[in-house]
Structure 1
Amino acid sequence: MERKAKIIATIGPSSQDTHTIQKMIAAGMDVARLNFSHGQHEEHKQRILSIRQLSQTLGKPITILQDLQGPKLRVGSLPQAGVRLSRNSTIVLYSTESPEKPATAKTFIPMDVPNLINSVRPGDHILMDDGKIEVIVTEIKDNMIQAKVLLGGVLKSHKGVNLPGASLDIPSLTPKDHNDLLFGLDTDVDVIAVSFVRKARDIELVRETIQQHHPAKINIPIIAKLERPEAIDNLREIIQISDGVMVARGDLAVETSTELVPILQKRIIKTANYHTKIVITATQMLESMIENPRPTRAEASDVANAIFDGSDAVMLSAETASGNFPVESIAMMDRIILQAEHHFCDWGACNIGEEATMDDAISITRAARELAHDRNVAGIAVFTQNGRTALLMSKARPQVPILALTPNINTYQKLGILWGVTPFLVPFSDTIEALLENVDIALTTSAAIKRGQQVVVISGFPLAKVRSPNFALLHSIGANSE
């Protein structure tokens, strides 16, 4: 049984060398995430080159996901060892926008937060380092914020800052994001993830930027990372305008509450599947494997439940970027997913494909799924030019492999993120006969399908046009050559 949900692994200092990336691919990495909150363009360029070369050598398409930093609020620069904040102590926060750093004996913390002074009031809570440190604002005076420490600890440079409930007047696409986005398009990344999305307009701005600077890349998939309460309020509109969403549980928990996250996760996944959009579950999935060779039992259950909920992909962050066991983390996630999928239908997850909104194209993919199940065929072969048909087939959740054939190299590379989909790069087909011949050649060269086995073939017709699927047929591999 082949794994269907995909594994996204973040490339970082622990995993950027060619040897480790090769082992990560062998362990099951389907998507390589490049986190643009860290690293320089030259570093990311070398990582992209390594991934592409290994992908070609190993014959496995690896989708490259560029994760933009977004308007992330951060602590400014502190001493290398950090600053210890004791509970009940008083500290002073000041904006790095201020022309001069305060000079007194008090504990001053620089905050890289635009318009910070006007964004908080006495009584507001400020969280730092994913909520590990919490302070309450007691006084605002002379462009400085006095605060009392509620949860102490060692605070280090550039840790994240959250202002729960605050409405910040900051752009969704920062100048850094703009430059990083253009770099990603220039270097042919396959998917763009946009951080701290608050409304549908945030995604539209990214698409408009792509249209202006790289019109040929206008159809690159855009994933909205859901991390702010406003995103939950505007969930349906964001999902409709995006190609997919990421349940970014770290900031989401800090901005809302920890106990709400499991509920929000299920709601987001269900809504995304209804609208036939990609959905990724992320953050702390195997967090303990940053330091340990095995995960906790709770983490194993978390990964499995994300699969039962209907995630298309699950993501590793620090586990592979900076942890001690990047390859082992992927291998462990692979095993957990396989076990979960073995019991997929036991917990009602097989019904996910029935929840999607209906149209003619979705009806065709459902018919293909039922035909595949009734006839006990070996797989469903999908001919797709832009990836749309493969996505719809993926969302139908068939129990057999989805074999996506495309003549487009960009489509081939981005298909790796789709649940249950194995991509094949084939010549363009403008007749049914040519299509079936390409199906035979592609599938018999893989170990998955043997000559004489049956597959369901779906495509749009006429083949020369890019259109939604409108026909399905049952085909015996090799029958056309007899």
Structure 2
Amino acid sequence: MNRFAKIVATLGPSSSDESTLRELIEAGMDVARLNFSHGTHEDHADKVKLLRKLSEELGKPVSILMDLQGPKLRIGKLDKDFITLKSNQVVALSSSENPENVREGTIFIPFDVPKLHEALVPGNHILMDDGQLEFEVLELDGENIYARVILGGNLKSHKGVNLPGSKLDIPCLTPKDLEDLQFGLDLGVDLVAISFVKQASDILTVRETMRQMTSMRRLPPIVAKLERPEAIANLESIIDATDGVMVARGDLGVEMSPAVVPSAQKAIIRAANQKGKFVITATQMLESMINNPRPTRAEAADVANAIFDGTDAVMLSAESAAGKYPVQSVRMMESIISESEKHLKEWGHLDSVLSSDQLDASIPIVRAAKDLTADAKVSGIVVFTISGASAMWMSKAKPSVPIYAFTPETRTYQWLGIAWGV
């Protein structure tokens, strides 16, 4: 094994055919992410079938991560392809589909989320399209929200909405999520990512929902996507409740100041490592490779710094899903990881589960195994595991040699593709 950290690649239009999927696996993809915000069930089923076939042919485990859309706030459908908004214009956001219900002279923007007005007060800010447009709430009139344009631009239908500093009480699973989750469990996905997690109870709700949906003995590990300020405030309890976390820097950088994201990333990775939970660092890692064959130097440094922080995996989003260079993006990620890991002793800050007060029965064995790797003659650690837990504990000790996990369970073999060093 040439590297310890794993590569998660999002699949999409650029990476759906068998030839490209084969190349992605050969280039180093360890985990295939299926984004359930896009695509049909038939599309996802076809990809899973191909991935299982290729994984067996190539003799390499490829974990399949289903990423639920979650309660993403969006505007509704506009009457035009787009509307152009300018600073100081007044808009009316309303869950009503009838523009006649708002004041004359305002620009009507339909909204898909009921009771939005209950979460806002005058002075609150509303962001749209990943923060490209910004509004300040002026007045609430029933369900109508009147706001002033601060940062204008072109707005298209169904763009995402963020409410920094506001608390909207909505369930962690939407009706669409429930339908998708049942489909994913029936399909046999290996990992389930939950979007917009706010608190530990969200994890418990999803886990109990899965228990009611399936009779499988072991549920797929849950990945909590941390993309809201509430999640950072509840970080410790969320990590205790989940199996793994994702540093979802896209929405996190909209809900919070971008200046805060780097330190939040480090805090999340450290906490996850100390508690023995795997962590994925995601969003815009090699963003320029959507259109260019090589990344910027800043992007290369970003990936390297995530490795030095101690992340278990790094993720490609649009780069592999919709970009011009999906395979090259994985190869580049592989190259940056491999080079960075040569310098972990110099620059790495690998907080491990051994530096915490974890009391799991596996810890003494893990500690002893890691101590033995100080012997130059030790070239690897062998772990026998049923559920994958022992291999994950060993992974979170961050040993300096590869971990070889043996298991009689196919599902364990498949999901351990996310584990650092395994």
Specify the TM-score bucket, using the shorter chain as the normaliser: over 0.9
Partner of 1:431: none
Q: Does 1:126 align with 2:144?
A: no
The code of the aligned residue for 2:413 comes to Y
Partner of 1:378: 379
Whole-angstrom distance in 2 between the partners of 1:351 and 1:227: 22
Stretch of structure 1 that moved more, 356-365 or 182-191 = 356-365
Partner of 1:278: 278
Sequence identity, in percent?
58
Quote how far apart the aligned CAs of 1:78 are.
2.7
Quote how far apart the aligned CAs of 1:218 are.
4.3
Divergent runs of 4+, >6 A: none
TM-score (norm 2): 0.95
Partner-residue secondary structure (3-state), 2:225: strand
Quote how far apart the aligned CAs of 1:105 are.
6.8
Quote how far apart the aligned CAs of 1:356 are.
3.6
Stretch of structure 1 that moved more, 86-95 or 101-110 = 101-110
Matches within 5 A, 1:74-89: 74-78=74-78, 81-89=81-89
Partner-residue secondary structure (3-state), 1:349: coil
Matches within 5 A, 1:237-248: 237-248=237-248
Query: Alpha-carbon deviations, 1:233-275, whole Å to 9, x = none?
Result: 1111110010011111111111121111111111111111111
Quote how far apart the aligned CAs of 1:99 are.
5.3
The code of the aligned residue for 1:417 comes to I
Whole-angstrom distance in 2 between the partners of 1:300 and 1:80: 40
Whole-angstrom distance in 2 between the partners of 1:405 and 1:6: 18
Partner-residue secondary structure (3-state), 1:374: coil
Partner-residue secondary structure (3-state), 1:9: strand
Partner of 1:235: 235
Quote how far apart the aligned CAs of 1:34 are.
0.5
Q: 1:102 to 1:341 in 2, by over 3 A?
A: farther
Rg larger in structure? 1
Partner of 2:98: 100
Partner of 2:51: 51
Partner-residue secondary structure (3-state), 1:169: coil
Tell whether the 8 Å contact from 1:207 to 1:218 is kept in structure 2 after alignment: no
Partner of 2:391: 390
Q: 1:154 to 1:217 in 2, by over 3 A?
A: farther
Partner of 1:22: 22
Q: 1:24 to 1:80 in 2, by over 3 A?
A: farther
Tell whether the 8 Å contact from 1:211 to 1:218 is kept in structure 2 after alignment: no
Query: Alpha-carbon deviations, 1:192-238, whole Å to 9, x = none?
Result: 00111111111111111111121315432001111111111111111
Tell whether the 8 Å contact from 1:273 to 1:355 is kept in structure 2 after alignment: no
Unaligned runs of 5+ in 2: none
Quote how far apart the aligned CAs of 1:348 are.
4.0
Whole-angstrom distance in 1 between the partners of 2:60 and 2:143: 55
Higher-RCO chain (CA-CA 8 Å, sequence separation at least 6): 2
Q: 1:293 to 1:105 in 2, by over 3 A?
A: farther
Matches within 5 A, 1:455-466: none
Q: 1:324 to 1:348 in 2, by over 3 A?
A: closer
Whole-angstrom distance in 2 between the partners of 1:102 and 1:46: 45
Whole-angstrom distance in 2 between the partners of 1:351 and 1:231: 21
CA RMSD of aligned residues (A): 1.6
Whole-angstrom distance in 2 between the partners of 1:215 and 1:303: 39
Tell whether the 8 Å contact from 1:291 to 1:325 is kept in structure 2 after alignment: yes
Partner of 2:357: 357
Partner of 2:309: 309
Matches within 5 A, 1:127-142: 127-142=127-142
